[in-house]
Chain A
Amino acid sequence: KAGVTQTPRYLIKTRGQQVTLSCSPISGHRSVSWYQQTPGQGLQFLFEYFSETQRNKGNFPGRFSGRQFSNSRSEMNVSTLELGDSALYLCASSLGWNGEQFFGPGTRLTVL
């Protein structure tokens, strides 16, 4: 089985711009979660989608949004980028509720 894939792997943006990151889960996995990882804050939960519905949302501002498509692929969008949004964004898929998370390689976002 192919693993979780994320595109792009690296991204450089400037403040005020917006960005869309993509995640393709493992085939058959319907749950997709997004995390932000920074050296100081560790792994912070952004949101989780299951069958195109957002089931959970972490404590992030409304500039962070996401969606899931009928094929379980997911995208997350960050609008009006700030310097503090520079981070590794990880997507993880799982079979169900709180199951083993399979992480993708991440997208390294740098905001200048």
Chain B
Amino acid sequence: GQQVMQIPQYQHVQEGEDFTTYCNSSTTLSNIQWYKQRPGGHPVFLIQLVKSGEVKKQKRLTFQFGEAKKNSSLHITATQTTDVGTYFCAGPGSGNMLTFGGGTRLMVKP
């Protein structure tokens, strides 16, 4: 079945440094979604990308969807302590079932 992998699993950064998480699917995706889960909280939708090569920005966050629609990335510029949490990508697989990546846990040192 479809697999969605994310790297890295964990990332420690100093506040102000940049951060990137990568998402790779074993199959071509019709779209990819990104979620953020704060410690002790539940996943919250950030964005959905649909088009090949699409790039979207939300303030300091930049999301990219690969040309082959099998990979995606989330880049955060100048991290802040409020960015702490786990970032998940998710894509529809067989039967349109949404498959989540394992997540990247971001820790920010003030």
Q: Do A98 and B98 touch (CB < 8 A)?
A: yes
Q: Do B92 and A43 touch (CB < 8 A)?
A: no
A49 at the interface (CB under 8 A from B): no
Give complex CA distance A106, B101 in Å.
19
Give complex CA distance A1, B33 in Å.
22
Residues 53-110 (chain B) with a chain A CB within 8 angstroms: 88, 90, 92, 95-103
Q: Do B98 and A33 touch (CB < 8 A)?
A: yes
Instruction: Note all chain A residues with C-beta closer than 8 A to B45.
Output: 100-102
Give complex CA distance A105, B96 in Å.
24
Instruction: Note all chain A residues with C-beta closer than 8 A to B97.
Output: 45, 48, 56, 58
Q: Do A42 and B42 touch (CB < 8 A)?
A: no
A55 at the interface (CB under 8 A from B): yes
Q: Do A98 and B92 touch (CB < 8 A)?
A: yes
Give complex CA distance A98, B1 in Å.
17
Give complex CA distance A56, B99 in Å.
12
Q: Do B100 and A103 touch (CB < 8 A)?
A: no
Residue from B30, B33, B99 in contact with A101 in the complex, judged by beta carbons closer than 8 Å: B33
Give complex CA distance A105, B99 in Å.
20
Q: List 23 A-B contacts (CB under 8 A).
A: A33-B98, A42-B88, A42-B100, A43-B88, A45-B97, A45-B99, A48-B97, A56-B96, A90-B43, A97-B96, A98-B30, A98-B31, A100-B33, A100-B45, A100-B48, A101-B35, A101-B43, A101-B90, A101-B98, A102-B45, A104-B42, A105-B42, A106-B42
- Residues of chain A having any CB pair with chain B under 8 Å: 33, 35, 42-43, 45, 48, 55-56, 58-59, 90, 92, 97-98, 100-106
Nearest 9 pairs of A and B residues by beta carbon: A43-B100, A103-B42, A56-B97, A42-B102, A98-B92, A100-B45, A56-B95, A103-B43, A98-B96
